[in-house]
Amino acid sequence: MLLNLLVKPGWVVLENVVQDRIGHELFGTFTAVLTLATIVAAVSDLGTTQLSTKRLAASASYFTDFFPTLLPLRAGLGISFLGLTVGLGWVLGYRDHWLLLLAVTAAGLLFTQYTQFLRGVLQAHQRFNTDAILSVLERVLLLGLVLGLLPLGLTLERYVAVRLVAGLFTLLLLVGLIRRLYGPVGLRPRWRQARQLLVESLPLAFITLVYGLNERIDMLMLERLVSAREASYYAAAYRWVDAVMMYLWTVLPLFFARFARATGQRAEQQELLWFGQRVVTVPLLLVVAFGLFRGELLFFQFQHSTPAEIARMTQCLQLLFLNVLVHAFFAIYSTLLTSTDHEKPVSWLVTGSIALNVGLNFLLMPRYGALAGAANTTLCAVFVSVGYVWLVPRRTGVALPLQMLGQLALAFAGLCAGWYALRTYAGLPWWLETALAAALLLGLVFALGVVRVDELRAVLQRKGEEPEK
């Protein structure tokens, strides 16, 4: 997770440079093509990656018993994915050169997807350090290849090609490593096993599909309904949102495991929820406020964009950072629900959110473009979060930390008021302004009782006593 947190910001900055060099028009269409391939990839996997990782972790014999069937099954699904992606691209209106780029992009995603599938073998055999390196290897290779292309001349075709090369190299390296560690796997496909695997994996496929659609559909619809340029503005803003959300996807799995372990123990789950609420929310309050008041600074890489284009991307960013704010407050409730076997209502909530998002996109995108996509994403996050708040006490019996939510909301309001005053009256450099805002948030957190001094002292005291035990 630490490796991903280190690589992700560098990749965001470099991808912004790629977009700036290629141009908004071309990159917007590429973003739509990549989005289409990503959505189809989520469908074509049919949940087999999650299933194999789960089964391998439970039983090492799964590797020898089922992989002779699973490997050719995954290969067949991958080939079907390529054909389905190109077919859907043709139906949506992509032709000739763009259809070829779609096929190459889909092939790169296929390699990446197969790598994620095979990494389950390493995870099941407790080789977490090796798995961690492989999890970022493709992105690091891609960073190096793109940096090498910058002085030579970066084109869209070269960018798509190096994505393919990085994905293929990582896959071949992993295949060689698995063969060296565990020996070759004979391919003996059995229809009964394949049918069993598909039946077991379909529920996981549904969850993967709804979450993939919920996050990706806006960019594809923008390019098809409005213009490639509007899609590129949204993509530039969403890239930073995706980077910020890495904090949530790093912290929340830790609480997922703890919630699951405390299933049936409401008092312990409530304590975890109230503690997790602060851990998840407080750091993101500062990040969201920075995006609202200094968001334009995040687009410093766009040297070839006009002030109007920078302003458009900044407006999208500000709307999408409100989406981050909603997740900062309420994403932990989804974690509690899914960790305690309430995945089904969560999936239906997300499905309803997708339907709402698509409907709003058709209604508002033709008039407001990228801003409509960003606003609709935030509205749908509110819709889903209201559902979480309604479900948690009814399905888990855990009380909501309503007082703490109010305190956190007041802290954010106070932070925004203070930052507005700094921007309006102080005229400070952005870094000093941000430092003072961070100090203000820290003071508000203690003043409003979000974190108490005696509570912090007790934690520090316990840590000091640990070496003596």
In the chain, % of residues over pLDDT 90: 42
DSSP letter for 450, please: S
Task: Look at residue 130 in the predicted model and tell me its pLDDT.
Answer: 77
- Predicted confidence band of residue 132 (pLDDT cuts 50, 70, 90): confident
Interval 207-214 mean pLDDT:
66
Q: Is 350 within 8 Å of 211 (Cβ atoms)? A: yes
Higher confidence at residue 192 or residue 441? 441
Residue 11: pLDDT above 70? yes
- Which one, of 195, 53, 220, lies nearest residue 125 by Cα? 53
- Predicted confidence band of residue 362 (pLDDT cuts 50, 70, 90): very high
Of 240-254, 266-280, 314-328, 454-468, give the lowest mean pLDDT range.
Answer: 454-468
Highest mean pLDDT of the ranges 81-85, 351-355, 360-364: 360-364
- Which one, of 29, 105, 60, 23, lies nearest residue 309 by Cα? 23
Task: Look at residue 302 in the predicted model and tell me its pLDDT.
Answer: 93
- Which one, of 242, 305, 353, lies nearest residue 28 by Cα? 305
Residue 190 is encoded by which pair of tokens? Answer: 């059995």
Task: Look at residue 468 in the predicted model and tell me its pLDDT.
Answer: 46
369 phi-psi bin (left φ>0, alpha ψ -120 to 50, beta other): left
Q: What share of the chain is helix, strand, coil (3-state, %, to 5)?
A: 85, 0, 15
Of 229-233, 300-304, 436-440, give the lowest mean pLDDT range.
Answer: 300-304
Residue whose tokens read 């098809």: 224
Interval 69-75 mean pLDDT:
76
Task: Look at residue 250 in the predicted model and tell me its pLDDT.
Answer: 79
Of 63-72, 88-97, 202-211, give the lowest mean pLDDT range.
Answer: 202-211
Of 5-14, 176-185, 207-216, 257-266, give the lowest mean pLDDT range.
Answer: 207-216
Task: Look at residue 56 in the predicted model and tell me its pLDDT.
Answer: 62
Higher confidence at residue 120 or residue 92? 92
Interval 318-338 mean pLDDT:
93
Task: Look at residue 398 in the predicted model and tell me its pLDDT.
Answer: 87
HEC sequence for 38-82:
HHHHHHHCCCHHHHHHHHHHHCCCHHHHHHHHHHHHHHHHHHHHH
Residue 297: pLDDT above 90? yes
Task: Look at residue 320 in the predicted model and tell me its pLDDT.
Answer: 96
Q: Is 357 within 8 Å of 376 (Cβ atoms)? A: yes
